[in-house]
Amino acid sequence: MSQSTISLLLKIAAGLWVIWGLVHMLAGIMTVSLDTPDAVAGIADAVDPALLVGSYHEAVGAVINQHGFNLLWIGTFTLVGAFCIWRGSVTAMFFTGLVGGLADVGYFVFLDLGGFVNFVPGTIMTLVSSSAIILSLGAYFMGMRKQEAKKA
């Protein structure tokens, strides 16, 4: 594979991480900004919002706000990682995939498989991060094969 193919894969992966990061930063800000019932309804969008209305202990609100904070920093981390991936950083590919990918594994296991969310938008973001990871790995392994061919 040519260097231009590898570069294109990394640029597409970086673009996907930019989208993923911005969506999660916005979700984090919204989660912290909303009242607890509205924040939970925004996350668990397949649950009837009427079932979520009520008073919650302050600790529940704190947990939801902590989740929002985590969405914000994870989104910010992947956004920064995207710019480094664009420039070809293997370290950024690894850490961005690890942080963003594991965040989406938790979402998939507990919300998607739990049946608490509709397909959009969270599941799409899981597909976006998975695609970015696959493209990054493809670029990495193509680059490794190219280096091994040079050694031989």
Q: Quick: pLDDT tens for 41-53.
A: 989 999 999 999 8
Q: Which two tokens stand for residue 132?
A: 């970015």
Looking at the predicted structure, is the pLDDT value of residue 1 above 80?
no
CB 76 within 8 A of CB 25: yes
Looking at the predicted structure, is the pLDDT value of residue 132 above 90?
yes
d(CA 80, CA 108): 24
Looking at the predicted structure, is the pLDDT value of residue 151 above 70?
no
Tokens 């963003």 correspond to 100
Residue spans of alpha helices (H) in 34-108: 36-43, 58-86, 90-107
Whole-prediction pTM: 0.91
Amino acid at 133: I
Q: Which pLDDT belongs to residue 67?
A: 96
CA distances from 5 to 11, 36, 135 (A): 10, 46, 11
Rounded to an integer, the average pLDDT of 16-29 is 97
Quickly state the pLDDT bin for 122 (edges 50, 70, 90): confident
More confident residue, 62 or 118: 62
CA distances from 54 to 36, 61, 64, 92 (A): 9, 12, 15, 43
